[in-house]
Amino acid sequence: MTIDRDGELVLSVPSDCPTETARQIASAKRLWIYTKLAQRERLSRPLAAREFVTGEGFSYLGRTYRLKLIDPSGAAEPPLRLQYGRFLLLRTERHRGQEHFVQWYAQHGRPWLQHRIEHLAARIGVTPPTVQVRDLGYRWGSCGRGVNVHWRTILLPPRYVLAHELVHLCEPRHNKRFWAALERVMPDFAERKQWLAEHGGRF
């Protein structure tokens, strides 16, 4: 039983389960359902629009860095870079700030994520897959032939997301074997999972 992102209740039962039995199960879990809906309402606050002004904070791998608008000084200067503990964005590119940040996160995050994937894969006992950084909508990650990671994952401490997707190479479903395997490689996964549920909406 899960609450989908649009607030829809999803109840997975065997194909031969009578509809009335499914209704009774859902009815017996009303308190759980209402609690989850209340949590979802509290955590799904809309993201504040970015202004791309000097002093604005931008996250990267769980830390916040302040933005500074700068004037261009050369033809080959990148529109955005992280230097001396600050994000530096060309003043002339401020109107394309969102685009430059997404490109920067994808470009710089992918090698970092690939390195962490290789380390975690060795602990899990799977072959390290390739990593693609892209926009996955409402999902932080997915796993098929490789690991796909939402570019926004680069904003937060991403180890839980990576370990979660890698364990899917061994166990595709979220069953007891999956959670046991995840706990072996990441004993504090429950705390990390809870942190993501409570704070992920900010990103």
Q: What percent of the chain has pLDDT over 70?
A: 93
Domain residue ranges in the chain: 2-43, 57-95, 101-202
pTM: 0.70
Candidate from 11-20, 128-137, 167-176, 184-193 with smallest mean pLDDT: 128-137
Give the burial class of 88: count Cβ atoms within 10 A of its Cβ; 0-12 exposed, 13-18 middle, 19 or more buried: middle
3-class DSSP state of 83: strand
Cβ contacts of residue 15 below 8 Å, gap of 6+?
Answer: none
Rounded distance between C-alpha atoms, residue 76 and residue 148, angstroms: 31
Q: Grade residue 132 by pLDDT with cuts at 50, 70 and 90.
A: confident
Rounded distance between C-alpha atoms, residue 43 and residue 197, angstroms: 8
Candidate from 16-25, 42-51, 129-138, 183-192 with smallest mean pLDDT: 42-51
- Superfamily covering domain 101-202: Metalloproteases ("zincins"), catalytic domain (3.30.2010.10)
Distances (CA, A) of 78 to 51, 131, 201: 20, 24, 30
- What region, left, alpha or beta, does residue 65 occupy, with left being phi > 0 and alpha being psi -120 to 50 degrees? beta
Neighbours of 149 (CB within 10 A): 27
Nearest to 37 by CA among 71, 3, 68: 3
